[in-house]
Amino acid sequence: MLTPPILALAVASFGIGTTEFVIMGLLPEVADSLGVTIPQAGYLVSGYAMGVVIGAPLVAIATAGLPRKTALLALMLTFLLGNLGCALAPDYGLLMLARVGTAFAHGAFFGIGAIVARDLVPPERLTQAVALMFAGLTLANVLGVPLGTALGQALGWRATFWAVAGIGVAALVAIGLWVPAGLPGTRGGLGREFRALGRWPVLKPMLISTLSSVSFFTVFTYVTPFLTGVSGFSAQGVTGVLFAAGIGLTVGNLVGGRLADRNLLATVVGGFLGIVAVLGLLTLVAPFGVATVAVLVVWSGLAFALVSPLQVWVVEAARDAPNLASTLNQGAFNLGNATGAWLGGTALTLGANYRELPLLAAAVSVAGLVLAATALRGRAMPPQAARHAEGMAPSEPA
């Protein structure tokens, strides 16, 4: 199933995921090197996320007329140059500019890459193919971020960006060699793409994607103080917990892709049901270390089991003009990242404690569950037919 073209996409997503998240482990080194405070260095995380949100539609429009392989190569070249810019940036302002420039490649790459992965496999395996591409992103959290952090702490933070640039070179070569040419770009022009975005069957899964991300990052943004302040872990112990959670989200991503190829909407609804239940359980077991780890692993798996099904849902809903919709769904995920961090932080500022954050996240997931459940009908039909019955055909309303 892991064919060379999909492996090439996974290598690229590993590099993109590493460069997005590794900065969080290098904030003290960056702050000390550039003469800024750690909170100021933290804006490099927010700057990247907003670069994805703003850049996704702009880059999707700019690459709309390109063959998809050409677009992927151009995006990886942007990623490579952005990381070289990070490694060479002489001051904070230019580092921020390089981070935002790198982020512009993020949303469009995953958006177009999801369509390419889908087109390279039989219909009964399309969600698995998308999940395998996203496996690079999940593995970045398990391997890329801790290794990149260790490298930066040992040799300086610039060494990490040089290493990520090396991954970009490998991905660029792999895409050039293995992704087939002849995959068309947008058919029917940008007007058709924008009209697709105006349909509720396309907007619904995008909104659900945002809600799933808001729910996850309402808790995950503050997982370190949650673990140390509520569950009693040491700062060193948190690293092991996060590694275990990374394994959970990697496995969940792959399992979610397999289940969604059997029944996409049932997978999404079931995932949200599980998330609501597990977040409630997390509040109960939070003072108990071993139980907390087990619940966090399951929660991470359930959260990332939704990623590829929701991406495929958007692509299928806009299958007559999927490029812009697929790319904007990546912006929706990142908007959810930022919103979840804001929501959790606001709740804490207003007096909530860390143990209450899972309940707030569960409430957000309930909203996603309700939206997804409204589309769940025709369950007795085969998966592909059921998808069309869910309003995914362009001519049918939701």
Alpha-carbon distance 252 to 156, whole Å? 33
Residue 1: predicted pLDDT: 66
10 and 130 housed in the same domain: yes
Alpha-carbon distance 143 to 151, whole Å? 12
- State the DSSP H helix or E strand holding residue 141, giving kind and residue range, or none if neither: none
Q: Could you give the C-alpha distances from 213 to 303, 319, 338, 391, in angstroms and in order?
A: 8, 23, 9, 23
Q: By residue range, what is the domain housing residue 235?
A: 188-398
**What is the domain count for the chain?**
2
93 CB-contact burial (10 Å; exposed 0-12 / middle 13-18 / buried 19+): exposed
193 and 176 housed in the same domain: no
CATH of residue 283's domain is: 1.20.1250.20
Q: 395 or 41: which carries more pLDDT confidence?
A: 41
175 and 285 housed in the same domain: no
324 and 254 housed in the same domain: yes
19 and 96 housed in the same domain: yes
204 and 336 housed in the same domain: yes
Confidence of residue 37 (pLDDT cuts 50, 70, 90): confident
- Helix runs in 63-142, H state only: 68-88, 92-119, 126-139
Closest CA to 26 of 223, 160, 165, 222: 160
168 and 299 housed in the same domain: no
Q: How far apart are the first and last CA of the chain?
A: 33
163 and 217 housed in the same domain: no
217 and 177 housed in the same domain: no
Confidence of residue 122 (pLDDT cuts 50, 70, 90): confident
Mean pLDDT of 10-25: 90
Mean pLDDT of 58-62: 84
Confidence of residue 335 (pLDDT cuts 50, 70, 90): confident
Alpha-carbon distance 329 to 318, whole Å? 11
Q: Is residue 44 pLDDT above 50, yes or no?
A: yes
The string of pLDDT tens digits covering residues 279-324 is 999 999 999 999 999 999 999 999 999 999 999 999 888 876 677 8
Hey, is 233 helix, strand or coil?
coil
Last residue in a domain, options 131, 157, 185: 185
207 and 319 housed in the same domain: yes
218 and 279 housed in the same domain: yes
158 and 255 housed in the same domain: no
Last residue in a domain, options 130, 156, 185: 185
> If you average pLDDT over every residue of the chain, what do you get?
87
Last residue in a domain, options 138, 162, 185: 185
